[in-house]
Amino acid sequence: MNEQTTPWYRELTRYHWFVLTVAALGWIFDCLDQQLFVLARPAAMIELVPETAELAGDALKAARSHAGAVATAVFLAGWATGGVFFGMLGDRIGRAKTMLITILLYSAFTGLSSLSTGVWDFSFYRFLTGLGVGGEFAVGVALVAEVMPNRARPYTLAMLQALSALGNISAALINMGLGIAEEQGLVDSPWRKMFLIGALPALLAVVVRIGLKEPEQWQKASHEGAMAKKLGSYGQLFENATLRRHALLGLMLACSGVIGLWGVGFFAPDLIRLVQQKKVAAEVYAETLTSAEQSGNTALMEAIRAVQAADAPAQSSASGESAETPEPVAAATADQIALVRQETDKAISGRLARWGSYTSILINIGAFFGMFGFGAVAERIGRKPTFAIALLAAFVSTVSVFWFLQDFGQFWMVPVMGFCQLSLFAGYAMYFPELFPTHLRSTGTSFCYNVGRFVAAVGPLIQAQLVAFFTSMYASSGREPLRYAGITMCSVFLLGLLALPFLPETRGKPLPE
C-alpha cells in the first residue's frame, strides 16, 4: 500500500497523538475560558453595575450594555497583546515552554475574575486572561504543524480547531447547570462559580511540563547561529517583502472572521435572551401566581401581580411590542414585593441562562462539523476557494439569523450559522503556519490571528453604538435594535474576500523552512 492510499492517520506515531492531544486540550480549555466569559457576561454586568436612584430603567440597561462591551473589548485587546508577545516568545524560547506559561496565565486569571467587585477590576482580570488565551493558539498550531507529517498536517490542524467546540459546549453545559441551580435557589452569583471552574485547566500545565518536547525543526533553527538571532523577530518578518505581504494580507483575512465572530456571532445568545425574555417572564409569573392561588395566599398573589405590573413596560420594551395595560392590583407590603421580586428575578435569570446555553451548544455543534468540513474541502479544492465559500456562507447565514429568528421553530438556523462562521477558524489554523518559515512561524501566525484582535476589540464597542443608534431610530418598529446592529456588522465577512486574490495557494506544499 503506497503513501497516497494509506490513510493519513496511519502515519501518526504514539508521540504524534500525544502532541495533538496536549495541544487540543490546551485549545479546548482556552475556548472553555473564552466561552465562560461570553455566557457569564450578562449576569456579571447585572451584579457589577447595580441599580441606583440615579441609574435605573433604560439608562441602567444602556450602562450594563456599555460595560459588557468595554469588558469584551478589553479582553480582546489582552488577547491580541498576548498573541503578539507570546507568538514571538514561542519562536525564541520554544513552543512547549511558551504553551506552559500561557495555560497557567489564562487559568489563573479566569479564576480571579470570580472575585471581581466592579467593572474595572473585572476588565483588568479579563485583560490578563486574554494575554494567555491569545498566546496559546499561536504556539499550539505551530507545534502541531511542525511535529506532524506533511500529509497529516492539514487534517490534524483542522481537528485541533474543530475540537475547540468541545470547550465551548462544556462552558454552555456548565452555564446551564448553574442556571438551573440558580433557578432552584441553590446558588447565588453563578457567574462567579463559572469563573472558578475556569481555573481548573492549570492542571494541564503539569502534563505539558513533563511530556512535551520541542519540535525538531525549531531545535535545528535555534542551534544555527545566524538563524537563532532571527528567531521571533518582527523586524525579520517585515524586512522580507514576501513575508510582509503574507503577514498583512493574513491579518486582513483574520480580521474578517474574528470581528465577525466577536462583534456579531457571539452576541447571538444575547439576541436569543431578548427574543425569549417576555415569554420566560410570563411563564415564571404564571407559575408563581398559580402556586399562590393554590395555597390561598392572597397577600402573595397581590405582591406577584404588583411585580408583574411593574415589569410589563420593561418586558414590552425589550420585545419591541406595545405594553398591555396591567390590571389594577391591591396594595401589597414593600417587604412582600421585594421578596417576590428577588425570587422571580432569580427564576427568570436562570431560565434565560439556559436559553443562552442552548444557543451556544447549537452554534458549536455546527462549528464542530464546519471546521472538519473546511479541512476536507480545503484539501480537495484548495485553501483560497474554500475561504471564499466560507466567508460568503458566514455572511448569508449570520444575516439570516439576526433578521429572521423569532421563535424555537427557526432555531435550526443557529447551528448553520455556527457551521459557516467558525469553519473560518479551521482555515486560519491550517493556512497561517503554511505562510511562514520555521524561525518566524509562531510570530507570523500570531501576528495574523492575534493582531486582528486589536481591530476586533472595537467590534463590540461599535456594535453597542449601533444598538444605541438603532434604538433611537427604530424605537417603535417592533424589532429589537440588536438585530439591525448585527446585520450591519455582518458586512465585515466580505472584507476577507478582498485579501484572497493576493495570497498564495499552499495546498499540497510542504511547510517553508
Residue 472: predicted pLDDT: 66
350 or 380, greater pLDDT: 380
Q: Work out the pLDDT band at 479, boundaries 50, 70, 90.
A: low
Give residue 416's pLDDT band: very low, low, confident or very high (50, 70, 90).
Answer: very high
The pLDDT value recorded for residue 332 is: 57
**Arithmetic mean of pLDDT over the chain:** 81
Instruction: Determine the average pLDDT of the residues in 457-467.
Output: 72
Would you state the pLDDT for residue 503? Answer: 93
| Structural domain of 238 | 8-502
Give the pLDDT score at 322: 47
**pTM for this structure?**
0.74
Min mean pLDDT across 89-103, 170-184, 286-300, 320-334 is at: 320-334
| Among the ranges given (133-142, 224-233, 473-482), the one the predictor scored with the smallest mean pLDDT | 224-233
333 pLDDT above the threshold of 80: no
- Choice among 203-212, 328-337, 397-406 with the minimum mean pLDDT: 328-337
User: Is residue 508 domain-resident?
Assistant: no
Q: Is residue 445 part of a domain?
A: yes
SS3 annotation, 223-259: HCHHHHCCCCCHHHHHHCHHHHHHHHHHHHHHHHHHH
| Helix 334-381, helix 164-183: angle, nearest 10 | 170
* C-alpha count within 13 angstroms, C-beta hemisphere, residue 267: 30
Res. 319: pLDDT tops 50:
no
Query: What distance in Å separates the CA atoms of residue 83 and residue 105, rounded to the nearest whole number?
Result: 13
> What integer is the mean pLDDT of 275-295?
80
CATH number of the domain enclosing 160 = 1.20.1250.20
Signed CA dihedral, 237, 239, 243, 245: sign only? positive
234, with CB counted inside 10 A (0-12, 13-18, 19+), is middle
Please give the radius of gyration of the chain, using alpha carbons only, rounded to the nearest integer: 24
Structural domains of the chain, count: 1
Taking the C-alpha atoms of residue 38 and residue 469, their distance in angstroms, rounded to an integer, is 23
Distance CA 236, CA 215 (A): 21
- Is 1 domain-assigned? no
**512 assigned to some structural domain:** no
Average pLDDT over residues 367-378: 90
Please, is 396 exposed, middle or buried when counting C-beta atoms within 10 Å of its C-beta (0-12, 13-18, 19+)? Answer: middle
Q: Is pLDDT larger for residue 401 or for residue 310? A: 401
212-216, 240-244, 246-250, range with the lowest pLDDT: 212-216
Over the range 146-159, which residues count as b (16 or more CB within 10 Å of their CB) and which as e? bbbeebbbbbbbbb
Residue 507 falls inside a structural domain: no
507 DSSP assignment: T
Domain contains 354: yes
| Res. 219 pLDDT band, cuts 50 70 90 | confident
What percent of the chain clears pLDDT 90, i.e. is strictly above it?
Answer: 15
Q: How far is CA 299 from the centre of its chain?
A: 45
Higher-pLDDT residue of 187, 403: 403
Spatial neighbors of 492 by CB under 8 A, at least 6 apart, are 255, 256, 259, 260, 263, 264, 459
**Residue 33's pLDDT band (cuts 50, 70, 90):** confident
Top-confidence range, 222-236, 246-260, 475-489: 246-260
Characterise 187 by phi-psi region: left (phi > 0), alpha (psi -120 to 50), beta (else): beta
pLDDT for the residue numbered 500? 94
Least confident of 90-99, 109-118, 348-357: 348-357
In terms of average pLDDT, the best of 68-77, 309-318, 413-422, 451-460 is 413-422
Residue 423 lies in a domain: yes
| pLDDT value of position 231 | 56
> Is the distance from CB of 436 to CB of 218 less than 8 angstroms?
no
Q: What is the pLDDT of residues 419-429, one digit of tens each?
A: 999 999 889 98
Q: Can you give the pLDDT at residue 328?
A: 45
DSSP 168-231: HHHHHHHHHHHHHHHHTTS-S-HHHHHHHHTTGGGGHHHHHHHH----HHHHHHHHSHHHHTTT
Which of 247, 266, 256 has its CA nearest to residue 437? 247
Confidence (pLDDT) at 135: 82
pLDDT confidence of residue 62: 77
Predicted local distance difference test score (pLDDT) of residue 248: 92
497 belongs to a structural domain: yes
